[in-house]
């Protein structure tokens, strides 16, 4: 699938103020700085569409982008940003959790994981919570340009083993690099397949 048109629609903290047209949406979440906004810009081939930054904590709202007039990409704030104040973190976590649990048009959540890291408690707990809440998710291992292919395979194997301690089957897994554009086609084809089944 090719994205012909990607348009910013609205940013907000309240899932009730998100677009009400019922079009399917695909949201991107993960730790702060993992590369959510960069991946969205890669998928849409629009560099400045989602705001990116070298510093964590850049995306602070729920951002809707309308794709080809038919579905949405949603850029979410990162979780686990240690430097944010407790009050700010609590506020973000609350509105993100409300969005994730109450948004009926959310068809898939992409959970982004930095491919260089060992399995992290915060990500495993978050995915377990998604499972408990019945939120359908897939995993994307980002920044693969930063690892050799053998180191990447080793890390992926470790992650899969850890996930299988909690899950009977693994969710769909993707690998990506916003630097080399790797992973773009597979992720877009996956979205296209889901859209065609709706």
Q: What are phi and psi of 92, to 5 degrees?
A: -60, -45
Binding residue for ligand GTP, selected from 59, 138, 155, 175, defined by CB under 6 A: 59
The Cα 24–Cα 98 span in angstroms is 17
Contact call for residue 155 and Mg ion (CB under 5 A) = no
Interacting positions 16-45 with Mg ion (CB under 5 A): 36-37
Residues between 141 and 160 that touch ligand GTP (CB under 6 A): 142-143, 145-146
According to the binding rule CB under 6 A, does residue 175 interact with ligand GTP? no
| 56 sits near ligand GTP (criterion: CB under 6 A) | yes
Paired tokens of 7: 């348009």
Task: Using the structure block, give the residue that is written with the tokens 């990447």.
Answer: 152
Give which of Mg ion, ligand GTP, none residue 57 binds (C-beta under 5 to 8 Å, depending on kind): ligand GTP
Closer CB to ligand GTP, residue 20 or residue 148? 148
| Residue 22 CB, nearest approach to Mg ion (Å) | 25
User: Counting contacts by CB under 6 A, is residue 58 touching ligand GTP?
Assistant: yes
Q: DSSP state, 85?
A: -
Q: What are phi and psi of 70, to 5 degrees?
A: -125, -25
Are the C-beta atoms of residues 64 and 18 closer than 8 Å to each other?
yes
- In a 3-state reduction of DSSP, which class is residue 110? strand
Tokens, residue 67: 């794709």
Residue 12 CB partners (closer than 8 Å, separation 6+): 18, 61, 62
The CB-of-165 to ligand GTP minimum distance in angstroms stands at 26
Q: Which does residue 138 touch among Mg ion, ligand GTP, none (CB within 5 to 8 A, set by kind)?
A: none
Select from 78, 66, 71, 67 the least CA-distant residue to 28.
Answer: 78
Q: Counting contacts by CB under 6 A, is residue 44 touching ligand GTP?
A: no
> Which residues bind to ligand GTP, rule: CB under 6 A?
32-38, 52-54, 56-59, 77-78, 142-143, 145-146, 177-179
């Amino acid at each position: 699938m090719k994205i012909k048109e990607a348009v910013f629609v609205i940013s907000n903290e309240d899932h009730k103020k998100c677009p009400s047209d019922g079009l399917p949406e695909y949201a991107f979440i993960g730790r702060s700085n993992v590369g959510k906004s960069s991946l969205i810009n890669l998928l849409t081939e629009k560099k400045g569409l989602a705001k990116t930054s070298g510093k964590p904590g850049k995306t602070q709202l729920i951002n809707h982008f309308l794709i080809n007039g038919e579905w949405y990409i949603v850029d979410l704030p990162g979780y686990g940003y240690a430097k944010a104040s407790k009050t700010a973190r609590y506020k973000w976590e609350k509105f993100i959790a409300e969005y994730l649990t109450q948004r009926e048009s959310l068809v898939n959540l992409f959970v982004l994981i930095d491919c260089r890291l060992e399995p992290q408690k915060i990500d495993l707990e978050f995915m377990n919570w998604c499972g408990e809440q019945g939120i359908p998710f897939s995993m994307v291992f980002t920044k693969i340009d930063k690892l050799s292919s053998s180191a990447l395979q080793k890390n992926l194997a470790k992650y899969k083993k850890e996930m299988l301690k909690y899950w009977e089957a693994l969710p769909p897994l993707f690998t990506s690099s916003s630097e080399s554009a790797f992973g773009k086609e597979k992720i877009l084809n996956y979205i296209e397949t889901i859209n065609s089944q709706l």
